[in-house]
């Protein structure tokens, strides 16, 4: 969001901005009154802050995902679309059993749940829902109690169920509970979060897939709206929704609903080892089946060869490193199993349509959030 605000500043004239790092303005009206503020953009808006800004006649733009405060314009995610993207992500992978874990006390969670459930219903599927009340803040005691409840719920679900959580914190609880119950992720249970909090997604084992909101666009729109209000124009729409960017696929959903246990295990083996210089022969050896049978079954269940699947995983990892790090291409190649940077670049362009450098620049222009790079159809069954 801050990047989006900064982008507006650079293109419309600099503001003298102050970032309230510890959110004093939310609870201390004296602090707000002590400054000569011309306008406020707030991520965690409170009734007290709204009242203070109203008393001081300071324009306020709200970025908090809660119901609209009277007269205060709000920018927030299109939560129903977040849920629909989650459903589409699982349906594309062939799942027929679904679950959703959320919070009854949070409106944004209910919107995501309803979008998820409605998309599944339209596709002819039902959904098992686990909603609980979320306290004002998460505590270790509350979290430990949740793990037990979630564990029992997960055990009641059929094997090969795909579960979406209302946010990444809830998804992390699901993954931890699955581990307690000896449920393998993603082999037995696929788990998808929302918000794409990179630090949280990468800390889970396996790494968590998540629906990425367009935080950059939210920040840019908020700054644009504040600029208009400072110029004396009243906002025409008080509740603006920003569409999410897409699903960032990591290991927690990087699987397909496959009935053949050996092929399912082979796919998982590739997901974990593709960036180590893995070969199809090594996959066949690990799966204890012949190379020819491996090729035949991969085309049956996945629609592409083992080699193409290895390349797909490598390219997805390349895209992550291009966006999430500033590593030079030589280092990206080393981390994804390529001896030669030139070959990595040629392959990446062939399968995504963009050279690595151009792709990195394009994603940075979107605010540093990477949509799913799914090269499944580009690869087909070619042994790239």
Question: Count of CB atoms within 10 A of residue 294's CB?
Answer: 22
Class of domain 2-72+216-238 as given by CATH: alpha beta
Over residues 187-212, the mean pLDDT reads: 93
Residue 366 pLDDT: 52
Instruction: Read off the pLDDT band of 367 (50, 70, 90).
Output: very low
Peptide bond into 361 cis (omega under 30): no
Over residues 81-104, the mean pLDDT reads: 92
Token pair listed for 131: 């909603």
The answer on pLDDT for 377 being more than 90 is no
Over residues 164-179, the mean pLDDT reads: 96
Which pTM value belongs to this model? 0.72
Distance CA 184, CA 190 (A): 9
CB 165 within 8 A of CB 174: yes
Residue 380 pLDDT: 32
The answer on pLDDT for 285 being more than 90 is yes
**What is the dotted CATH code of the domain comprising 79-214?**
3.40.50.2300
Residue 364 pLDDT: 62
Over residues 342-363, the mean pLDDT reads: 90
Q: HEC states along the chain?
A: CHHHHHHHHHHHCCCCCCCCCCCHHHCCHHHHHCCCCCCEEECCCCHHHHHHHHHHCCCEEECCCCCCCCCCCEEEECHHHHHHHHHHHHHCCCCCEEEEEEECCCHHHHHHHHHHHHHHHHCCCCCEEEEECCCCCCCHHHHHHHHHHHHHHHHHCCCCEEEEECCHHHHHHHHHHHHHCCCCCCCCEEEEEECCCHHHHHHCCCCCEEEECCHHHHHHHHHHHHHHHHCCCCCCCCEEEECCCEEECCCCCCCCCCCCHHHHHHHHHHHHHHHHCCCHHHHHHHHCCCHHHHHHHHHHHCCCCHHHHHHHHHHHHHHHHHHHCCCCHHHHHHHCCCCCHHHHHHHHHHHHCCCHHHHHHHHHHCCCCCCCCCCHHHHCCCCC
Q: What is the pLDDT of residues 120-144, one digit of tens each?
A: 999 999 999 999 988 876 677 787 8
Residue 368 pLDDT: 45
Distance CA 244, CA 247 (A): 9
Report the percentage of the chain scoring pLDDT > 90. 59
Distance CA 352, CA 316 (A): 10
Distance CA 163, CA 129 (A): 9
Over residues 301-323, the mean pLDDT reads: 87
The answer on pLDDT for 365 being more than 60 is no
The answer on pLDDT for 346 being more than 60 is yes
Residues of the chain with CATH 3.40.50.2300: 2-72+216-238, 79-214
Residue 383 pLDDT: 32
Class of domain 261-379 as given by CATH: mainly alpha
Report the percentage of the chain scoring pLDDT > 70. 93
Q: What is the pLDDT of residues 36-88, one digit of tens each?
A: 899 999 998 999 999 999 999 999 999 999 889 999 999 999 999 999 999 98
Kindly report the average pLDDT of the chain as a whole number. 88
Instruction: Read off the pLDDT band of 369 (50, 70, 90).
Output: very low
């Amino acid at each position: 969001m801050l990047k989006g605000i900064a982008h507006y500043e650079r293109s419309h004239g600099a503001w003298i901005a102050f970032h309230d790092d510890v959110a004093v303005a939310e609870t201390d009206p004296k602090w707000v009154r002590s400054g000569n503020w011309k306008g406020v953009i707030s991520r965690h808006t409170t009734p007290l802050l709204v009242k203070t800004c109203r008393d001081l006649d300071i324009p306020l733009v709200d970025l908090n995902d809660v119901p609209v405060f009277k007269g205060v314009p709000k920018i927030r995610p299109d939560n129903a679309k977040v849920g629909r993207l989650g459903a589409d992500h699982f349906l594309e992978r062939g799942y027929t059993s679904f679950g959703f874990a959320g919070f009854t006390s949070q409106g944004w969670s209910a919107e995501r749940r309803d979008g998820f459930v409605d998309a599944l219903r339209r596709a002819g599927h039902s959904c098992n829902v686990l909603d609980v009340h979320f306290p004002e803040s998460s505590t270790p005691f509350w979290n430990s109690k949740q793990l037990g409840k979630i564990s029992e719920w997960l055990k009641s679900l059929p094997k090969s169920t795909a579960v979406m959580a209302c946010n990444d914190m809830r998804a992390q609880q699901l993954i931890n509970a699955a581990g307690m119950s000896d449920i393998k992720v993603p082999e037995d249970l696929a788990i998808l979060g929302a918000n794409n909090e990179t630090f949280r997604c990468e800390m889970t084992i396996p790494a968590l897939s998540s629906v990425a909101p367009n935080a950059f666009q939210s920040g840019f729109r908020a700054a644009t709206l504040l600029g208009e209000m400072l110029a004396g124009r009243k906002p025409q729409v008080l509740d603006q929704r920003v569409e999410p960017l897409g699903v960032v696929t990591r290991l927690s959903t990087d699987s397909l609903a496959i009935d053949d246990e050996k092929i399912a295990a082979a796919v998982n083996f590739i997901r974990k080892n593709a960036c180590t210089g893995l070969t199809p022969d090594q996959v066949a050896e690990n799966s204890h089946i012949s190379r020819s049978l491996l090729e035949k079954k991969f085309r049956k269940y996945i629609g592409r060869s083992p080699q193409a699947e290895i390349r797909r995983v490598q390219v997805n990892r390349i895209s992550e490193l291009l966006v999430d790090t500033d590593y030079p291409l030589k280092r990206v190649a080393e981390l994804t199993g390529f001896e030669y940077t030139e070959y990595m670049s040629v392959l990446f362009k062939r399968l995504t349509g963009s050279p690595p450098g151009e792709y990195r620049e394009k994603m940075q222009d979107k605010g540093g959030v990477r949509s799913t790079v799914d090269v499944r159809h580009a690869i087909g069954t070619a042994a790239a």
